[in-house]
Amino acid sequence: MKVFKFGGASLESVERIRQVAEIVQSFPDEKLLIVISAMAKTTNDLEKVAENFFQGNREIAAQLLSNIEHHHLNVAEALLGNREHALFTQLQQFFTEAEWTLGETPLRTYDYYYDQLVGLGELLSTAIVSAFFNTVGLTNTWLDVRDIFRTDDNFRDANIDWVYTQRQVTEKVQPLFNSINMVITQGFIGSTDQNESVTLGREGSDYSAAVFANMLDAESQTIWKDVEGLKNADPKQFPNTVNIPEISYAEVIEMAYYGAQVIHPKTIKPLQNKQIPLLVKCFLDKNLPGTVISETADVKQLPPIIVLKKDQVLLNITSKDFSFITEDKISDIYEIFHGLKVKINLMQNGAINFSCCIDNNPEKIELLIKTLHEQFKIVYNEGLELLTVRYYQAGLLEELSDGHPVLLEQRSPATIQRLWKK
Ligand code: ASP
Ligand code: MG
């Protein structure tokens, strides 16, 4: 059994969906569990529906939803040739449910309503792809993943109940493959024990696929993308990037940690735990080698890996009364950051001060300053960028730094980080 994941870019247009079908056709005798995310920018559009609904702009929310509806109905019609197919009844039901939500008066949290509305993108895309595949001989079963993935009610970042979900996978998903070779289901969503829909965090479909791969003991997981494979830097930020043919799980986790938007960071653990290789392949040309992510990959073969995090802020926290910032104080500071869910990207401490670099989120920074200011004096510096280079080579760093004034730097034999003014 193999697990495939197709993301939004692979469903961007009718042509692309046909290309996806061609890819799948080239694996005729495989048992495939296929996880699909929402088409192109649908999730962003649904976020706007949720925002407007919650702010009381009902008409705008309804209008935005209706735009999404038209788009999906047009794509479905182009793929199926008419609007007679049972798919259209299924799509209609999804839209009716969303309209009901829009008719409610919001009494619960924003995150709750977000999850009831935003997961619609995956329900629509999978229903369309499944129906289309069945008409072109790719016989498959459509599965509502909310009957399988049980989570807590931490809306927008729900946590999977592994024991319950594993039982569902064993009892409900595995047996489907006795009579069929292909199951199509949604990434990114699940449901609570109260049957409320949840989402697993933006870009969470890679993770959903990894959970399935783990629970089905798949031989591999493939993420099909519109790029060649994993690159040593973001081609939108740097020229001359190269493809990485092989890399370890650990290295990919590090890359994601430093801010590379490669693969959802939660994806690796379920795969590593069962030693399931993760392949990143290009759906535009499946003959390209792509990237293999597994336990062992030779670090010596790796090119320098470059990650640039933009829009950073450096917070300088100094004790007001000249008392030392020792372990107990640092632990208090970390607790405040943790409570506000602010991730520290780089830190350094001295006798009476603590500096750290975080993503620029003005609301959170305001809250941080409010909480910290009784004990500490806080100065902050905006408009910064954090460069991380793994396996740096002489000369490269100077070339990348390009005269930017450096505010903070940290080095270890494998990694260098530089925070600079843009
Ligand atoms: N559709 C969701 C998102 O755009 C999940 C995913 O693409 O993985 O965040
Ligand atoms: Mg996406």
Q: How is 94-163 classified by DSSP, letter by letter?
A: HHHHHHHHHHS---S-HHHHHHHHHTHHHHHHHHHHHHHHHHTT---EEE-GGGT-BB-S-TTS--B-HH
The dihedral built from the CA positions of residue 75, 76, 78 and 82, taken in this order, carries a sign that is negative
Per the CB < 8 A criterion, the answer to whether 340 and 367 are in contact is: yes
Q: Is the dihedral of CA 317, 319, 322, 328 positive or negative?
A: negative
The answer to whether 417 and 355 have CB atoms below 8 angstroms apart is no
Residue 241 to residue 231: CA distance in whole angstroms: 6
175 burial level (CB within 10 Å; 0-12, 13-18, 19+): exposed
The residues with which 90 forms a beta bridge, in sequence order, are: none
Position in ligand 1 atom list of the atom nearest CA 201 = 9
pLDDT of the chain along its 422 residues, tens only?
999 999 999 999 999 999 999 999 999 999 999 999 999 999 999 999 999 999 999 999 999 999 999 999 999 999 999 999 999 999 999 999 999 999 999 999 999 999 999 999 999 999 999 999 999 999 999 999 999 999 999 999 999 999 999 999 999 999 999 999 999 999 999 999 999 999 999 999 999 999 999 999 999 999 999 889 999 999 989 988 999 999 999 999 999 889 888 888 899 999 999 999 999 999 999 999 999 999 988 777 899 999 999 999 999 999 999 999 999 999 999 999 999 989 999 999 999 999 999 999 999 999 999 999 988 999 999 999 999 999 988 888 888 888 899 999 999 998 999 999 99
Q: Which helix (H) or strand (E) holds 78?
A: helix 58-80
- Report the nearest atom of ligand 1 relative to the CA of 38: 1
Give the per-residue pLDDT at 265: 84
43 Cβ inside 6 Å of ligand 1: yes
| 199, two tokens | 């989402």
Q: Which-ligand-closest: CA of 45?
A: 1
Strands 32-36 and 246-248: unpaired
pLDDT recorded at residue 5: 98
Q: Which ligand is closest in space to the CA of residue 44?
A: 1
Whether the CA torsion 187, 193, 194, 195 is positive or negative: it is: positive
Beta bridge partners of 222: 4, 279
pLDDT at 401: 86
User: Computed from CA positions of residues 351, 357, 358, 364, in that sequence, does the dihedral angle turn out positive or negative?
Assistant: positive
Give start-end residues of each CATH 3.40.1160.10 domain in the chain. 2-226
65 forms bridges with which residues in the sheet? none
| Mutation probe of ligand 1 site: the residue of 10, 11, 37 with most atoms within 8 A of C-beta | 37
- What pLDDT, on the 0 to 100 scale, is given for residue 318? 96
Residue 16's pLDDT is what? 96
Tell me, using a 6 A CB cutoff, whether residue 6 lines ligand 1.
no
Which of helix, strand or coil describes residue 180?
coil
The packing angle between helices 14-25 and 120-135, to 10°, is 60
- pLDDT at res. 393: 84
pLDDT for 108 equals 96
C-alpha dist (Å) from residue 392 to 24, 304, 415: 39, 5, 7
| Cα distance between residue 231 and residue 290, in whole Å | 10
Residue 193 C-alpha to ligand 2 middle, in angstroms? 26
Determine whether the shortest distance from the Cβ of 121 to ligand 1 is under 6 A. yes
Q: What is the pLDDT of residues 326-352, one digit of tens each?
A: 999 999 999 999 999 899 999 999 999
Q: Which numbered atom of ligand 1 lies nearest the CA of 121?
A: 1
Q: Answer for the pair 307, 388: CB distance below 8 angstroms, yes or no.
A: yes
Contacts of 30 (CB under 8 A, 6+ apart): 1, 2, 181
Predicted TM-score of the model (pTM):
0.91
Residues whose CB falls within 8 Å of the CB of residue 116, separated by 6 or more in sequence, listed in order: 101, 196, 197
pLDDT value at position 264?
A: 87
Q: Which ligand is nearest to the CA of 42?
A: 1
309 by DSSP, 3-state: which? strand
Encode pLDDT of 364-417 as tens digits.
999 999 999 988 999 999 999 999 999 988 888 888 888 899 999 999 998 999
Residues of the chain with CATH 3.30.2130.10: 305-421
Residue 263 CA to residue 265 CA, distance in Å, equals: 6
Please give the distance, rounded to the nearest whole angstrom, from the Cα atom of residue 90 to the centre of ligand 2.
Answer: 22
Supply the DSSP symbol for 300: G
Second-level CATH architecture of 2-226: 3-Layer(aba) Sandwich (3.40)
The alpha carbon of 225 and the centre of ligand 2 are apart by a number of angstroms equal to: 11
Q: Maximum distance among all alpha carbons in the chain?
A: 76
CATH 3.30.2130.10 assigned to 305-421: yes
Ligand 1, atom nearest to 206 Cα: 8
Ligand 2 centre to CA of 38 (Å) is 6
Residue nearest to atom 5 of ligand 1 (CA): 203
For residue 38 and ligand 1, the question of a CB distance below 6 A is answered with: yes
